[in-house]
Chain A
């Protein structure tokens, strides 16, 4: 969220990314562990930086700690820059500097033999793919956008970075299986879906990666469906009650030709507590709203797998 509102809100950086670079966004926690062609290439780049090169013996082994940040690299695998600083002015300067270096190295190589590039199709067919990562959304199922916002309760701040978190709208995806989709079309909300919504999506992820709820922390989750209207409620809290969410749920659903064509749901309630990566919530109980909207594939983030499925799809969406 910080990057979106700082580095990638800078018009000149955005222009450079569109016109001079090939931009790619990835979850490095997955990519650095992938034992496949993509993981190999990522590790090959990351270990060229001293911060990460020291932690691994070779590019084949997984880098053991986070490698998050910004990288600039060539297609041949040369790292030109690693930077983990969010100052847009500094980033812009470094990007321009590296573009000049890149252009200069291209001129130096102008007399050399050209790099032979395979077509996309040929290359892709040769790529190794680690099936433990990069999950596909369920066939015949639904992808629903989930977005959360804290509606108030933060103390005033002059800190621009903290302000970004305080006004952030989070984004995740809810996956609904084909069987669950069929059940909704028939007017029933299956328990499996209710519990997935409660455990993985009724969370405060506006300041970073949230802790998901354990099954026994879900004290109540109810969503009745009648005449295309959802009404319900949820009560979820940790065993010592240091984190929780107590919410009302309301929604509208539309079905046409055997498929859900509208899935608009809102949860509104009191939230409390924090996780290790969602520090500095408002004090006490604060209002948290979470919206659900059927994804139509027009947003790049529609293709991402749910945060709760990270590393273990079966726990999120049992077969």
Chain B
């Protein structure tokens, strides 16, 4: 048990040290380019292939015309943005 706890503690400290190292890296031109590329949405993500409507009334009209039920994804904050 003591060994397991020690192992977890060592791992946690390593993670924190690694995080500190990552953040202390200077924002060089190369790092900027790499991060800017990395921090972009994955266009291939499945949820993004769904033809989401953002207006409930437009969705309601389409549902009537296409004889389909409406599926509503309602969140605190916009689900397509920050939630």
Which residues does A use to contact B, with CB under 8 Å?
A: 1, 3-4, 8-11, 14, 17-18, 20-29, 31, 37-38, 41-42, 45, 66-76, 80, 95, 98-99, 102, 106, 115, 117, 120, 123-124, 127, 145, 147-149, 151-156, 169-173, 205, 208-210, 248-251, 264, 266, 268-270, 277, 282-287, 289-291, 293, 299-301, 303-304, 307, 310
B82 and A28 contact, CB distance less than 8 A: no
CB nearest neighbor in B for A36: B57
A209 and B76 contact, CB distance less than 8 A: yes
| 8 further contact pairs, Cβ within 8 A, besides A120-B58, A289-B35 | A31-B74, A38-B55, A42-B56, A70-B73, A71-B70, A152-B23, A304-B81, A307-B77
* B residues 34-79 in Cβ contact with A at 8 Å: 35-36, 38-41, 45-47, 49-79
In the complex, 13 of the A-B residue pairs with CB atoms within 8 angstroms, ordered by the A residue number, are A9-B46, A18-B51, A23-B59, A24-B59, A74-B63, A98-B69, A120-B61, A145-B41, A155-B15, A173-B81, A268-B35, A300-B80, A307-B78
B70: min CB distance to chain A, Å: 5
A29 and B71 contact, CB distance less than 8 A: no
Please pick, from A1, A23, A153, the residue contacting B73 in the complex, using a CB distance under 8 A.
Answer: A23
Contacts of A148 in B (CB 8 A): 39
Count residues of chain B with CB under 8 A from any CB of chain A. 59
CB nearest neighbor in A for B37: A291
B69: min CB distance to chain A, Å: 5
A11 and B19 contact, CB distance less than 8 A: no
